[in-house]
Every structure is written in C-alpha cells, then in structure tokens.
Amino acid sequence: MKTKLTFLILIIIGFYNQFHSQLKSNDTLKVCTEIKEYNFSGQKIAVLKREKWSAGQVLKVKFLGGDNFLQSKVKQYAVEWSKHCSIKLEFITSGTAQIRVNFLAGKGSWSIIGKASQTYSINPETNESYFSNDGTTMNFGWFNSDTPDIEFSRTVIHEFGHALGLIHEHQSPSAAIPWDIPKVYQYYQETQGWSKDEVDNNIFFRYSRGSTQHSSYDRYSIMHYAIPAYLLLDESFSVGWNTSLSDLDKSYISTIYPIATKKPKRPKNNNDDSHVGDVRGGIH
Ligand SMILES: [Zn+2]
C-alpha cells in the first residue's frame, strides 16, 4: 500500500500558449491540464481519495519566488477555500512546507493534486515529478504586475483547489458533456498544440466513481474548464469562465473537510443555564 502510494502522483500542468495570434480567442490561452504518472508496475491508479488531507489540517505554504505583490495576491485568494472548510493555510518563510509556490514565467499554471506534494516536487523544465519536499509543487506562469484581480481570483483559487485534492470538474464522474469530439481534437491541437492522446487525457478522460468523492455536476465550479459552445453538440452545456467559488464548491468542500462542530456545553448544574447560548452581550 505504501509503495503504491509512494509512486503515485497526479499532477496538474497548465500550459501558457504564447502564440496569441493563432488563437480564436484569448480565453483559450490559460488552460490547466493534467498529467498523470503511474507506479513502476505500470498499474494505472486514479485515487484522488488517497490525495485528501486530513480534516482540520494546517497546510504550510512557502513561496519559492515572486515579489511582494504577487505573493500578496496568492495569499489573498488562496484562503477562499478555508472560509468553507477545516483546512487552514499557514504561510511560512523558512522550514518545510507542504505547498511550495513558484512564479516561473511561461511555465504554465499547475499544482500537484493533494497530499502528494508532501513528498514530490515538479521540475518546471520537464513537467516531471521527482522525490523531494523542497521543490516547486505549484506554479503561476502568467501573473505579473498588470494581472487583473479577477484573473488572480480565477487561477489562484483553482490551483489551490487542486492542492486540496480536487480534480477538474469536466472530468468528474458526474459530468456528461456532449462534446463534438472531432472539433475538440482540432480545437486543442490548434490552440494548445495537444496530440490526440493529450486531448483524451485532459478532456475526455473521466475519473471513476470509486476513485473519487464527487458532488453532482456543477458547471459553475471554479474547477471547471471554460467550454465554448462550438465544441458541443448541445450548446446549452457551454460553460463560461468561472472566477470564484460556486455555491456547490463551498458546500462540497465543507463535506470533504468538515468543520468540527462543538457540542454545546451543558451546565454542570441543570438549574444554572446562565452561560449556555448566551451571546447577546457580544452582538450589537
Ligand atoms: Zn486545473
């Protein structure tokens, strides 16, 4: 079990295509993609349940680059998930961190999924993983001083969703998107330079119900790709750019990492309820 876990890693890699002029829309530029690596036996395992952290865990986050502005924007939006679950983030400047953030320009935006980041890092030059707890586990490759807040929100929350173990929503077992398959192959070949296998892997592959915990399909999830109508057989399934947590994102993460609810204190003396549920003094 330990061996399987050790050699399993799921990585999200985003590619920043710099050839703007070749694209039909700038919206296609910043696509986060998945690369999966398997253990030495070649056995394919997509076990996102195993990539979950423990509820209530405090994850240490360390920056390996970036100026104060970029770091402050990541801090600002990364904590959005923590408002709705029991995972907390602690930003540190020294020591070992479970999430190690870099800002390598042109290297895409991506994150290791979940707790594999404790033992693995990614080589940004090759997008390959290696055994290390001090290399990059998350990269933001298209942020700069001109990046608008809405883009910080969209990308930071998305990548930290991966860091918490979440996969892309369009690859959820509950997704049933009516892709126009030949158009999808052509579109991602032209806009991202993807091979057929890469399109299969990043678009059409769906995780099994057994390997994941999942909500009902949520087109408004921050973890969803934008899907233009012309890639679909039914245009009503098109998805825009989601830039903040959806209502279902918020409720779902609260079930994955539940916030412990304290039982109300019972008075030792049943006749004395003066301190039970009395919050009036603190609310005005
Ligand atoms: Zn992603």
According to CATH, the topology of domain 2-256 is Collagenase (Catalytic Domain) (3.40.390)
Residue 254: which pLDDT band, with cuts at 50, 70 and 90? very high
CA of 161 to the centre of ligand 1 (A): 8
Q: With contact defined as beta carbons under 8 Å apart, do 165 and 118 qualify? A: no
53-72 confidence digits (pLDDT tens): 999 999 999 999 999 999 99
CA of 268 to the centre of ligand 1 (A): 51
CA torsion angle 74 80 85 87 (round to 10): 10
CA of 202 to the centre of ligand 1 (A): 10
CA of 123 to the centre of ligand 1 (A): 18
Q: Where are the domains of the chain?
A: 2-256
Pairing of strands 99-102, 138-139: parallel
CA of 156 to the centre of ligand 1 (A): 10
Q: Which residues contact 82 (CB under 8 A, 6 or more apart)?
A: 88, 89
Has residue 34 got a pLDDT over 60? no
CA of 157 to the centre of ligand 1 (A): 10
In 117-166 the beta strands, taken as DSSP E runs, fall at 120-123, 128-131, 138-139
139-174 confidence digits (pLDDT tens): 999 999 999 999 999 999 999 999 999 888 898 888
As to burial, measured by CB atoms within 10 angstroms (0-12 exposed, 13-18 middle, 19+ buried), residue 282 is: exposed
d(CA 251, CA 268): 35
